[in-house]
Amino acid sequence: MTRPPAILRFAPSPNGRLHLGHAFSALLNVRFAEHLGGVCRLRIEDIDPVRSKPHLTEAILADLTWLGLDYPRPIRHQSRHMDEYRSALARLVALGLAYPCFCSRADIRSRATAFDPDGAPLYPGTCRHRDPREAAARRERGDPHTWRLSMAHALPRAREERALGYIAFGDEGESWVPVDPAPWGDAVIARRDVPTSYHLSVVHDDAVEGVTHVVRGADLEAATAIHVLLQRLLGLPTPRYHHHRLIQDADGRKLAKSRGSTSLAELRAAGIGAAEIRLWCREV
């Protein structure tokens, strides 16, 4: 059976300037796309209405152009597809797999007794068994709420056909990786301010864009368990995944916008050329 053409994607969020870690990931995506005889697309993951800024989207495009990268058009901007995410959420709600949660972060921190794979306080299930009539009344009057995936209902349904997992790929071939989403607990699949979350929007977009291979940082490897689960629940294909190592600073910490890691724009202003960055990313 012939595989479909390989489609990859580089998907930055416009909440800060790109740094060397982003350059490494973007160029690695292109390298894999070329090796697989496919194409790499660009996606702007801008569901955050507060942190995502139009001028940062323009900066991303400028940085990638400077690196010599060009992407097929149109470029998908998540903020323009909220109705699609709303529909995906509605499917999970209709299946009885999601419920509204009215807890604040402070509520969760004060009641949590464990942590999820990202190190955040694990949701203790406060709203899991809330009376549906009470929950509906609170939503009706506009009480802020998220939507959470009911892991107790989702896992049995997802495992009816076969075990959960994905195919990992890399320079040395492919292998099967089993996953267990249970440690994530009842993960948020729609935020208070938008009808989606990173988890929900990314699996929806990968399916819509026909993504066959996902190349992203090792910091997202644990989250792949939630993504595989959502793909199974929504009847979406599971791409192959490659989680690459993270670029670190002199202190051994991964580069991050939140820590003010040196941006590509700053490197460019210091006289470092795109060819030098491209060579460094291949040799690092």
Q: Which residues are catalytic?
A: 257
- The string of DSSP letters for 205-219 reads HHHHTT--EEEEEGG
Could you tell me which residues come within 8 angstroms of residue 186 by beta carbon, excluding any fewer than 6 positions away? Answer: 99, 101, 123, 125, 128, 148, 149, 150, 151
Distance linking the first and last C-alpha atoms of the chain? 37
Q: 237 by DSSP, 3-state: which? A: coil
Neighbours of 144 (CB within 10 A): 13
Per DSSP, 163 falls in state: -
Per DSSP bridges, beta strands 146-149 and 98-101 are: antiparallel
Radius of gyration, CA atoms only, the chain: 20
Q: Taking every pair of C-alpha atoms in the chain, what is the biggest distance, in angstroms?
A: 63
For 174, phi then psi, to 5°, come to -125, 155
Q: Tally the C-alpha atoms within 13 A of residue 87's C-alpha that lie toward its C-beta.
A: 6
Per DSSP bridges, beta strands 240-244 and 213-217 are: parallel
What are the b/e assignments for 26-46, b being 16+ CB within 10 Å? bbbbbbbbeebebebbbbbbb
